[in-house]
Amino acid sequence: MNVSRRSFLLTSGLLGLAGTGALTACGSSGSAGGGGGDGEELAFWIWSGAISEKVVDDVAASVASTVEITPSIIGGDFKQRLTTTLSSGQSVPDITGVKGEDMPSFLAQAEAFLDLNDLGAEDIASSFAAAKYAAATTADGKQIGLPIDLGPTATYYREDQWAQAGLPTDPAAAGQLVATWDGWFQAAKTVKAATGAASIRNSTDVFAVALAQQPETFVTKAGAWAGDGDAVRGAWDLAVRSHTDGVSAALFDATGYNQALAAGTVGGHVGPAWFGLDIASGAPDTSGKWRVTGTPAGPANIGGSFLALTTACRNPQAAFDYIKTLLTPENAAISFTDASVFPATTAAYSLPALTAGQDFYGGQATIDVFGPAAEQLPTVYDDPNNAAIAAPYYTELSNVEGGKDPAAAWTDAVAAAKQVADRAGVQ
């Protein structure tokens, strides 16, 4: 099985989740406007794998006597489909998913969505990981989405390789060793010397995590250019170090990465909870050998998504009650089991579906790592232009691993990114 598309997009700095299928129902056929009323039919747009289909259908069935909810799996570019529909005001869904990487763009179009605070969101805000909830809050306090899931990060490592290298293999002790990026690099070099194995797929994985630990990156909250600032340069230097220290495998293709995992020539990773599925699917015969522990320099988030109500919603209170029920701890746990969606609903972390030991990790209950990380995530400002601005840095890091001088690559990355920022009006 190939590495998932979201892993490919992470490597590209453009995280996304693929959706398949076709539109089966539409919402309002008029302009998005009032958002009032007690309509008996609601259209729900989502992409494949965003949430458990069983939960979606079961909760819809439970309210069928009051309102008919018709879910539609939207294929292709979900953001583009939703943006086009909102702009036209035709066939606008009442309820929609919003991918995490798209939320900054939709925050800039907040007038197209209902403020969920008017429907009771403030009463359940504490149910969710605080940083992820805040990612759907506008500057003036409007809440346009409830978080479905998130991607708290961790350090993945092969227990057998760490033992061979003479390093502590217990997750708690390993966590102390890699509590800083310097500690992680030292451990990775020790493993490389003892086993020949790399500890990261490629340098862009380090870059992504280090960026996600920063409160601001390419554009500040004030709207200023910061692509050559300390936050971005610090993440870049760590990424380049993974190459110069020889602990990156410099693999950018799914097939090569899976082969390296299976062969044991890659025995580690630093990345989000969902990435463990890619490791498990790419190298199933390594089951039992992997462990996870904390992220160097503290937790970060990569990925996740939201549920929102458009201003065309024909029955806002019924729609809000529906999405709220989709995200209860019990239903979030079902989505974790059925769709491998790591819940943003923190009370789910104490339920058996998440607390059980996992065979792939030698019986380790990985929630002991990912749960605290999710609850301690930093609040990060993600500007709508960040994804486009970031792309040249990812390109140049791959060039560095192909032999380009890091200093020249940095200069070229900044120059290209500044052009993107200038075209977007970032000063």
Q: pLDDT tens-digit profile of 22-55?
A: 333 345 444 333 445 788 999 999 999 999 999 9
Range scoring the smallest mean pLDDT among 21-25, 65-69, 408-412: 21-25
Looking at the whole model, is its pTM more than 0.85? yes
- Residue 45 and residue 142 share a domain: yes
Number of domains in the chain: 2
Token representation of residue 212: 């996600």
- What does the pLDDT read at residue 38? 81
- The C-alpha angle with vertex 258 and arms to 391 and 344, in degrees rounded to 5, equals 60
The answer on 191 and 100 residing in a single domain is: no
Note whether 202 and 266 are same-domain residues. yes
Residues 227 and 414: beta-carbon distance below 8 Å: yes
Give the per-residue pLDDT at 61: 97
Q: Which amino acid is at 414?
A: V
pLDDT exceeds 80 at position 17: no
* Same domain as 211, residue 316: no
Q: 211 and 288 share a domain?
A: yes
pLDDT of residue 35: 47
For residues 290 and 414, membership in a common domain is answered with yes
The verdict on 297 and 309 lying in the same domain is no
CA 303 from centroid of its chain's CA atoms: 1
Q: What is the distance, to the nearest Å, from the Cα of residue 399 to the centroid of all Cα atoms in its chain? A: 25
> Is residue 364 in a domain?
no
Q: Are 38 and 318 in contact (CB under 8 A)?
A: yes
Question: How confident is the model at residue 381, as a pLDDT?
Answer: 95
What's 76's domain CATH number?
3.40.190.10
In the three-class reduction of DSSP (H, G, I as helix; E, B as strand; rest coil), residue 139 is classed as coil
Same domain, 273 and 396: yes
Longest dimension (CA), the chain: 67
Does residue 373 sit within a domain?
A: no
Provide the angle, in degrees to the nearest 10, between the axes of the packed helices 53-62 and 329-339.
Answer: 140
Tokens of 134: 């805040």
Residue 111 belongs to domain spanning: 5-150+304-357
Q: Are residues 294 and 416 in the same domain?
A: yes
Query: CB–CB of 188/200 below 8 Å?
Result: yes
Q: What pLDDT sits at residue 199? A: 98
Assess whether 140 and 226 both reside in one domain: no
Note whether 105 and 214 are same-domain residues: no
Q: What is the pLDDT of residue 331?
A: 98
Q: Is the pLDDT of residue 367 over 90?
A: yes
Phi, psi of 13 (to 5 degrees): 80, 15
Measured CA to CA, the distance from residue 356 to residue 56 in angstroms comes to: 24
Coil, strand or helix at 304: strand
Q: What are phi and psi of 148, to 5 degrees?
A: -85, -50
In a domain, 329, yes or no: yes
**What gap in Å lies between CA 336 and CA 342, rounded to an integer?**
6
Q: Tell me what pLDDT residue 358 has.
A: 95
